[in-house]
Structure formats: C-alpha cells, structure tokens
Chain A
Amino acid sequence: MIDVSRLIYQVGSFTLDVPRFEVRSSELHVLLGPTGSGKTLLLEYVAGLLPRAAGSITIAGVASDGHPPERRRISYVPQDLALFPNLTVEENIAFSLRFRESRGPAVLRTLIDITGIEPLLERQTGALSGGEKQRVALVRALAAQPQAVLLDEPFSALHPSLRLSLWELLKQLHEEFALSILMVSHDVEEALALGDVISYIDGGRVLQTSRRKEVYYHPRSLSVARFFGFRNLFRARVGSVDEDSLFLADDGFGSIEVAATHREQDVRVGDTVWWGVHAEEITVVRPERIHVPRSNLFSGIVVGQVDVGRSRVARVELDRRPGSSRPMLELSLPEHAARRLKITEGHLVHLQLKPDRLFIIRDAVDAEDAG
C-alpha cells in the first residue's frame, strides 16, 4: 500500500535514513520508538508534508514522489488532532466532502454510528472531552475515504480506561473498513495491543520490522531490547549448534540452551552474542519438581524485590560458579503467584529459562537492519 525507499531527510544534525519501509494493504502497522527517533517525520513524509526530503514513495501502486498531500488520499491525524476550531463537529467530519466527490455521506453515516458521535455533531470542537475529540478526529480522517490512515500517537494523552476503549474502536474500524494504518507510538503496550506489524525506529533508522509480538520476544538489536525494558541481557560465546538448539557458553550461567529459530541459524560456533530473556518469561520451579530433567535450570536467592502494583519484580542472585561473579536475574510475577511461590527476600528459588523463550542478538546488527 505504502512503499518508501531510499528516504533521506536532514533536519539540523538529525538524519532520517530509511532505505526501505513498507505498509501492506489492510495492515495496522505500528511505528514504535522513543521521543525524537524520527517517527513523526516518517509519517509526515508519507503524508507529503516534507516536500524537500529525498526519497521515493509509491502509494497504492502509484509513484507519488512530489505529489502534494491533497493528491495522495492519505489521511493524517496529528498528535494534537488539529480539529478545526472554526467549524462545528459536523463541519469538521464533512470537511473532506467539500473537495472529494464520493459516496462520502453514506460512509459518514456508518462512521457516526460506529463511533457514537451523533450527539456531538452540533457542538463546537473546543467543548469536547479528550476521548470525544479522538473519535471526531478519527471520523474526519476516515470520512475522506483514504487509501491509508496515518495516526501520530493518537491516544497518548488519554486516561488508561479510555485508551482501552479507543484501542477497541480503532481495531473495529480497522477491520470494518479494511484500513491500512500506519500509527506512531512510543508506548510498548499500545504497540503490542494494536500492531499487526511493529517497526522499531531509533535515531532516524528503522532497526527492526516484525510481525506482531515478535519484535518484543525476539528483539534483534540491543537498542530494541533496551527500549522494551529488558534487564536480563548477558554476553556469551556460541559453544555448539545443532538442528534444534544453540548452546551458549556463559561465564556466569555455564551452558545455556537456546531454541534455534529461523533467525538464529546464521549464528556460528565461536561468535560472541548477547542473549536475554523477558522478566515475565522466567519459570519458577517448585522445589519438589526440580528433579524432573529440564534444561537451563538455575537456583538462587531472592536479594531484592519491588512491588509494582499488580505484579512483583524480584532480583535473584544465582549460585556462584567457580571463577565467576554471581549472575543476577530479574523476574516479574503476578502478585498472587509471587505470594503462592513464596518469592520473598532471602528465599531460595529455582528458575528455568525455557529455551524457546530466550533470544539472542548478534553483535553489530544495530546499524544495518531494516527488514
């Protein structure tokens, strides 16, 4: 649907450099990244709002380089929504019908029904609540019957409960109209909740593009892993490789088995890699069951814990291996499970790192990695 290639755009000392970026038809693509990573610029480029950027873009099969925004049929909802304050809600959502012949009114009717903004139509936009404004902005964008919709952090300023209902609404609209959506977000949870595809962007470069949650479970670079809040990141050497598994030689942990997925296959024996595991993906094994043979089983003492509302984050210092420092693992459990498993300071716990929950990051993949 949207195909960007060889995009280079420079603002001051910042360079947006995207060799290739694609949003497929009917895909909800989340562009995830920290503040100042260039995600909004990429959105503006797609919308046609960066006329001086070098690059080439195809929209729905049409080479659109140099096409002004009004010719692209791509709706854009900026972060502040930019509802026109001089127009009523009704005039706002019907704005595109002034310029585009279409079956607009019928679509508009459907949109009004789905989003439930009927009672707002006569109002001035300044008198709307945050959630109402979001709905109106979405309807206005969709009423133009765009080929794709660009959303810039649309839900970032909303109360969590309201956000959830708007996520649902967006998903519903996405399915109903088979929309192609490119949405910018800095919120991991939002990206995981909404994205069919998630691209991670940082420092003006798209570092990873993956389907659904893969970017979360298999980050391919350290900056992605760190953005997702990984604390369990370790360095190790690849000891051996067979069809199903990689075995890493880690100074602190000893041997670590990692399930070989398609991604890890090009790793060679002797390579130095990073490996890691999400704090929520660590399995706590009850003492009576530690005799069942399993790989990557470790024991350690809980040395600290933080109560973070409904879950608990515990730090576990593993048993020392001769000639190495004690490795530290961070694990996160729902509060009730932590209580049941007696995860309290000073307690001995047994942890398993399931091979299919581990990921590895090869060195030097950070730079060139847009996929």
Chain B
Amino acid sequence: MASLLFVAGFFVLLLGSTLLIADLSDFWEILFSPRVLYSLRLSVITATLAMFSALVIGLPAAYALSRYDFPGKTIVDTIAELPVILSPVALGAVLLIFLSSDAGLALQEYGLQFVFEIPGIVLAQWVATVGVAIRLLKTVFEEVSPRYENVARTLGATPAQALFQITLPMAGRGVFVTALFVWAKALGEFGATITVAGSMAMKTETLPIAISNALSGADVDRAVLLILVLALTGVLVLYLARVLVAEESVDRR
C-alpha cells in the first residue's frame, strides 16, 4: 500500500515538475492547433485498431495455448514472446526489412501500403503488443476451468457454442483488462512506429513521435504539453474503463 502510494506520488511529482519548467502561457492555443489535434486523433485511432487486431489474433492463440497440448507448444509459446524481448526499434527494423523484401513489396503492392503510411503505425503497434496480449490472455483463459466447457458440451453445446456462451463471457473481465493494457501500450509505442512509419507531421506523427519531434526541435514547452496530453488521455481512458467494469461487477451481485 505504502509502496503504491510512493509510486503514484512519484509519477505525479515527476509530471508536476515539468509544469515548473515549461511556459504554458499559450497552452490552449497549442492544444487546439490542428497539428496536435491530428496527433491526438491519430494516436487514439491507431492504438484502438492495434488493440482490436491484437485481440483478434491473441484470443484464439491464447485459448489454444491454455487448452491444448501439441508438439512444440513450448517453442511456439516462447517465440510469441519475442516482441517483449526485442527492443521496439529492433522490432521496427525487422518489420521494415521484411517490408522491403520481395514478399513485403508484393504484399504492399496488392494489399496495404505500410512504410511511411498510417497502416504502418497500426502494424508496428500490433507487433509490439500482440505478444503481451497472448501472454495475458493465456493467463485469463487458464483461470476459467475447462470443466465449465465440458459441462456445457454435455448439455448440448458444440465447442464453439461453449466457448462463446460460457468461456468468453466468464473471461470477459480479464479480456477487457488485457485490452486496456494493450491499448495503453500501443498508445505509447514509439520505437517500432517511428522506424516503420516515420515521423511526418500531419501524416504519421503520433503523440509519442510528436514529443520526440518537439524535443529534437528544442521546443520544451511543446514537448511538455504533448506529454501532458498523452498522459491525461491515457489515464482518463483507463480510469473510465476501470470505473465501468467496477460498476458492472457490482450489478452482477
């Protein structure tokens, strides 16, 4: 409890200290400038898309890892963790190299353009978060005993029906919390994103990239403002989501 208070206090002080240094006299002006609003919107949208993509892949993968034994399971499980081990820049570089290969070029020719484009942001954020998503979701599914599914099946449900009507609803809260975490991680993702999508203003400049741009332009006031925007957006969304989940679980009793 005390350590929790310490950590929370430390972060608040840290953020507060930036306010002392920065001159925020034109706070509102910068905040509502098209460029900052664009970055904010871009960040929220790409993080949300990345989160959903991570869930689309992460849910079945995590379910399979939690329920079935197959040869090479441990290896697959470990490889899925690679994005957690590799630094984000390395991850972005690997992506960029792949996209410049013949296969990568063909993919972009007939599919989506990734390099220096918005889909590239989503791809980078997805790659950076999907491993964590699988890890967390696997734990979530492991906490739901397979016995519920077994009973559902003896009552006539197919495996898919048992999954969608029993296991997923039971895992709902855990999936939601995982989704939030993945979203927050995607929102703050920098290294892989800038490597794949670049840092063009009004195009691929997400909030973390905008902060980096402001700093490299020695515009501390702007950097501080962007940091505050990023922090407040993230904290606000996570807080609201937690409140909603808490209310829902109170209703259930």
Instruction: Give the interface of A toward B (CB within 8 A).
Output: 44, 47-49, 68-70, 72-78, 80, 82, 84-86, 95-96, 98-100, 124, 126-127, 140-141, 144, 146, 150
Stretch at the interface among B111-119, B163-171, B174-182: B163-171
How does the 8 Å CB contact mask read for B149-192 relative to A, with 1 for contact and 0 for none? 01111111111010001100110100000000000000000000
**Bound form: Cα–Cα A72–B253 in Å:** 35
Within 8 A of A (CB), among B120-169: 145, 147-148, 150-159, 161, 165-166, 169
The answer on a CB contact under 8 Å between A69 and B154 is yes
Docked Cα-Cα span, A278 to B157, in Å, equals 48
Which of A70, A86, A126, A127 contacts B154 (CB under 8 A)?
A70
A276 to B52: give the CA distance in the assembly, Å.
Answer: 70
Question: Are B253 and A124 closer than 8 Å at their CB atoms?
Answer: yes
Which of B145, B152, B170 has most A Cβ within 10 Å?
A: B152
Instruction: Judge whether B170 and A84 touch: CB under 8 Å.
Output: yes
* A98 to B147 Cα, complex, angstroms: 19
> Are A82 and B155 within 8 A (Cβ)?
no
28 intermolecular pairs with C-beta atoms under 8 Å apart: A47-B154, A49-B153, A49-B154, A68-B159, A70-B155, A70-B156, A70-B158, A73-B156, A76-B151, A76-B154, A78-B151, A80-B145, A82-B145, A82-B148, A84-B148, A84-B166, A84-B170, A95-B152, A96-B155, A96-B156, A98-B165, A99-B156, A124-B253, A126-B253, A127-B253, A141-B155, A144-B155, A146-B154
Point out the residues of chain B lying under 8 angstroms from A74, CB to CB: 154
Q: Is B166 touching A98 in the complex (CB atoms < 8 A)?
A: no
Given contacts A76-B154, A82-B150, A146-B154, 20 further A-B contacts (CB under 8 A): A47-B150, A48-B153, A49-B154, A68-B158, A69-B150, A69-B154, A77-B151, A78-B147, A78-B151, A80-B145, A80-B147, A82-B147, A82-B148, A84-B148, A86-B166, A96-B156, A98-B156, A100-B156, A126-B253, A141-B155
Question: In the bound complex, what is the Cα–Cα distance between A48 and B166 (angstroms)?
Answer: 19
A68, closest chain B residue (CB) = B153
A44 nearest CB across to chain B (Å): 8
6 pairs of A and B residues whose beta carbons are closest in the complex: A99-B156, A69-B153, A86-B169, A96-B155, A76-B154, A82-B151
**Chain B: CB-nearest residue to A144:** B155
- Give B247 Cβ to nearest chain A Cβ, in Å: 16
Kindly list chain B residues whose C-beta atoms are within 8 Å of the C-beta of A44.
Answer: 150
Decide: A84 and B147 in contact? CB cutoff 8 A. Answer: no
Point out the residue from B150, B157, B161, B253 that lies within 8 Å of A76, measured CB to CB: B150
* Chain A residue contacts of B153, Cβ below 8 A: 48-49, 68-70
Whether B252 contacts A124 by the Cβ 8 Å rule is yes
Tier of interface size on chain B = 20 to 34
Cβ–Cβ contact A75 & B154, under 8 A? yes
Nearest Cβ on chain B to A145's Cβ, whole angstroms: 10
**CB atoms of B166 and A75 under 8 A apart:** no
Contact: A99 with B154, CB < 8 Å? Answer: no
Per the bound structure, the CA–CA distance linking A290 and B156 in Å amounts to: 66
Which of A72, A74, A76 is the most central at the interface, judged by chain B CB atoms within 10 Å of its CB? Answer: A76
Name the residue of chain A whose CB is nearest to the CB of B169: A86
Min Cβ gap B161→A in Å is 7
> Which residue in chain A gives the minimum CB-CB distance to B168?
A86
* Chain A residue, CB-CB nearest to B251: A124
Task: For the complex, give the distance between the alpha carbons of A141 and B169 in Å.
Answer: 21
**In whole angstroms, how far apart are the Cα atoms of A96 and B153 in the complex?**
9
Cα separation A141 to B172 with both chains bound (whole Å): 25
Q: How far is the CA of A95 from the CA of B165 in the complex (A)?
A: 10
Question: Which chain A residues border B170 with CB–CB below 8 Å?
Answer: 84-86
Q: Are B154 and A95 in contact (CB under 8 A)?
A: no
Please name the residue on chain B nearest to A71 by beta carbon: B156
A86 to B150, CA, bound (A): 16
In the complex, chain B residues whose CB is within 8 Å of the CB of A77:
151
Cα–Cα distance between A75 and B158 once the two chains are bound (Å): 14
C-alpha spacing A44/B153, complex, angstroms: 12
Closest chain A residue to B162, Cβ basis? A70
Question: How many angstroms between the C-alpha atoms of A70 and B158 in the bound complex?
Answer: 6
Complex contacts, B159 vs chain A, CB 8 Å = 68
A85 to B169, CA, bound (A): 9
Chain B residues with CB under 8 A of A49: 150, 153-154
CA distance A72 to B153 in the complex (A): 10
A70 touches B157 (CB 8 A): yes
Give Cα distance in the complex from A68 to B150, angstroms.
10
CB contacts (< 8 Å) of B145 on chain A: these are 80, 82
Q: Specify which chain A residues have a CB less than 8 angstroms from the CB of B150 in the assembled complex.
A: 44, 47, 49, 69, 76, 78, 82
Assembly CA distance A75 to B152 (angstroms): 9
